[in-house]
């Protein structure tokens, strides 16, 4: 408890010292996650070298590595966003702006490393670490292929998640969860008495939940990384 500057009475508050302690703990977790994702990317390129050593063409091995890396990026970003949100909530920030700033820094730091680690490896280290370098076409060709596969995969999967998932969620809620029909989109009612056209509030109620802070942070992070 502390004395209020306004009323002079004892008021309950969250200690800044305790908040800094939680922020430091979150920073350690973020650093650990970044180290883990660097290790995963390194493992992908170790597998790529293994494939080349056992007769797979360098171009084909790079394609396989790029596809696996693109899938890893999507999965790791999704899982990490959930973790970063819980870590930021745990820090108990006083204002929404403080919360969003803390969450933004966590998400961008991780996604930057997760998205670019393979590019930096191919561009600056592959030719020195691997015996055959990047294959007969050189590292810039491998880098371009890696960039194209990861960029297109993220673009397609991102649009699917942002557009189709909310649509399918709303359709499921209206047509199955609530067991009513909506403008002939579905025909899943138990009886004709249950059939009706939704009003606007009912349609909005059935839609997927929209978290403004998380959505804006994710959108700006996606644009910045692209």
- Residue 221 CA to residue 109 CA, distance in Å, equals 10
pTM of the complete model: 0.73
Virtual torsion, Cα 208, 209, 211, 212, nearest 10 deg: 70
Instruction: Output the average pLDDT for the chain.
Output: 82
Q: Encoding tokens for residue 168?
A: 């399918």
Better-scored residue on pLDDT, 128 or 118: 118
The H helix count followed by the E strand count for the chain is 8, 2
- Residue 39 neighbours by CB under 8 Å, 6+ apart: none
**In the chain, what percentage of residues exceed pLDDT 90?**
23
Decide which of 25 and 134 is more confident.
Answer: 25
């Amino acid at each position: 408890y502390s004395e209020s500057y306004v009323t002079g009475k004892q008021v309950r508050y969250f200690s800044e010292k305790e908040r800094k302690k939680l922020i430091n703990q979150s920073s350690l977790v973020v650093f650990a996650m970044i180290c883990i994702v660097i290790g995963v990317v390194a493992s992908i390129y170790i597998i790529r070298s293994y494939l080349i050593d056992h007769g797979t063409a360098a171009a084909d091995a790079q394609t396989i590595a790029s596809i696996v890396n693109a899938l890893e990026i999507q999965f790791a970003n999704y899982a990490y966003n959930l973790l970063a949100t819980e870590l930021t909530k745990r820090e108990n920030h006083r204002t929404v702006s403080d919360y969003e700033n803390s969450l933004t820094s966590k998400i961008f730091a991780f996604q930057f490393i997760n998205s670019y680690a393979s590019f930096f490896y191919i561009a600056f280290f592959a030719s020195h670490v691997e015996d055959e370098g990047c294959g007969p076409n050189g590292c810039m060709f491998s880098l371009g292929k890696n960039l194209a596969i990861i960029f297109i995969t993220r673009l397609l999967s991102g649009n699917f998640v942002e557009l189709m998932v909310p649509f399918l969620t709303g359709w499921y809620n209206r047509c199955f969860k609530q067991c009513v029909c909506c403008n002939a989109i579905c025909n899943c009612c138990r009886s004709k008495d249950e059939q009706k056209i939704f009003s606007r509030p009912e349609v909005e109620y059935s839609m997927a939940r929209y978290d403004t802070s998380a959505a804006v942070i994710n959108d700006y992070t996606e644009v910045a990384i692209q």
